[in-house]
Amino acid sequence: MRKRLIALLVITPLLLSSQLSTSHAAAKAGAKCNKAGITSVASGKTFTCVKSGNKLVWNKGAKTKPTSTGKTVSMSAGVKAALDDLDQYPKSKEAPQQIDFRFGPNADKLYSEKIVKNSNATMKFFVDFYQESKPYPVVSSFSEDKDWAIAEMAKIGQKNNKWEEVNRRGIKMIETFWEPVLGGDWKGDNFHLFYTKDQIKESGGLDSVHKQGYINHHIIHGIQNRITGDRDRYLGIWAREGGAEFYNWYILGRTYPELGDPSVGNVNYSVYRSDLTKPIRGWQAPTLNLLELNDAQWFSFIKNWDCNTYKYPFPSNKNPCPIIEHQQLAYSTGAIMYERLVGEFSHKKVMDWWYEIRTTPDWEEAFAKTFKVNIDDWYKKSAIPYLMQVHRDWVHIPPK
C-alpha cells in the first residue's frame, strides 16, 4: 500500500507553520484561560475559552455526548465555530426561490414528499443570497415513466434522449443526461432524479438518510449555479462537491433533528459527519488509511483534485487531469475543508467566493480575492493541519 501511495502522490517537503490549538488543562466556568477558541474537557463538559470584556475566561461548557463504546465526544472549537455561524441563517424574511416540482405519473408518493421537504428546506437556508425569479426545476419519476421524463426534460431545455439501464457496482441504475447515477443535475440549473422500483428496497430504501442527503446535495449544486452565474462547474471538484456535501450535512440535520422524523432517525451534523469521515477508507481501492498520510501527501491529493480548473470544467473529454484512485475522497474531505472555511471566515464570505466566480472564473484567484490568502498557503497553514486533526480525533457516533 505504501508503494502505491508513493507512486500515486508526488511527495515534496512542506513546512507547516501553524498547528491546531487545544487545551487539556482542567477548566472551570468563569476561570481564566489563555487563548480564545481552545477547549478543555472536564466533569463531562467541554469548556471553550471565550472573551468576556477584556478577559479570556472559560464559558459555562457543553455536555459531552456518550457513545456506544463508552467514549465521550466533545464538539471541537472548529466545528462549533462553523455551526454557530450557520445557525444565524437564514436572516432574510423574504420567500425563498420557488421550486418547480414535476413528478411522474408513477412516482413514489412518500419519496416525492421527501423531495419536496428537503428541497424546500435547502432553498430556504440560502434565501439571503442572490435569488432568481425563475423557479428551479426538479423532475422525478420511476424509470417506467421514461417517455414522460424525456418530454419533461425537453420542456426545460434538456433534449438529450439518452436513456438506458446500466449495471454499476452491481446495482441497477438509470443512465440519463450524462450521469449513470440515481439522479443528477445538468450544469446545476435543474435537478433530475430517476429511479427503479428496486432502489426503493436497496440500502435502506429511498427514504434512507444518504438518499435524502442526495436530494440536498443536488439542490445545493443548483444554488451554486445560481450564485456563480451559471459557472458552478468552474469550481472544480472539492470546491463544488465538498460545498454541496458540507451544507447538505448541516441542512439535513437541521431538517430532521434527533426528535424529528422517526423514519430518518438521528442525523444531526455530528452523527452524519462521523459516518462520512472515517479515517480508514475501506470502500476505495486500494484501502486508504488517512492517518498514514503526512502533510505533503495531503497537499498532493488536494492539488490533484484541483487540476479540474476553469480551463477544463468537468466533465470534459479534453480534461488533462490524471485519474487518481481516491478522487472520490474530495467529497467528504472537501466538506471538512468547508467546515474550516466557514469557521475561519464565515458562511457569508464563502457565498462571496462563489459569487466572485461571475467575474473571475479562475476559482483559485477568486479564493485569494475573497479570503485575502493564497490558496496553497491556506492549504498548508490551515486546511491540512485541520484535516489531520479531524482524523486523529475521529470517534464513531452511532445513529439512534
- Residue 246: phi and psi, rounded to 5, are -60, -50
Query: Would you kindly state where each structural domain of the chain is located, as residue ranges?
Result: 22-63, 67-93+235-400, 96-230
| 171 pLDDT more than 60 | no
Residues 6+ apart with CB under 8 A from 17: 380, 381
Residues 6+ apart with CB under 8 A from 187: 225, 230, 232, 233
Residues 6+ apart with CB under 8 A from 183: 140, 191, 192, 193, 194, 195, 214, 218
Question: pTM of the predicted model, to two decimals?
Answer: 0.75
The mean pLDDT value for 108-118 works out to 88
For the ranges 40-44, 341-345, 362-366, which has the lowest average pLDDT? 40-44
**pLDDT for the residue 184:** 61
The mean pLDDT value for 134-140 works out to 90
Residues 6+ apart with CB under 8 A from 124: 90, 96
For residues 55-76, b (16+ Cβ closer than 10 Å) or e, as one string? ebbbbebeebbeeeeeeebbbb
**pLDDT for the residue 3:** 40
Number of neighbours of residue 36 by Cβ within 10 angstroms: 13
The mean pLDDT value for 63-70 works out to 42
Question: In CATH terms, is domain 96-230 a member of 3.40.30?
Answer: yes
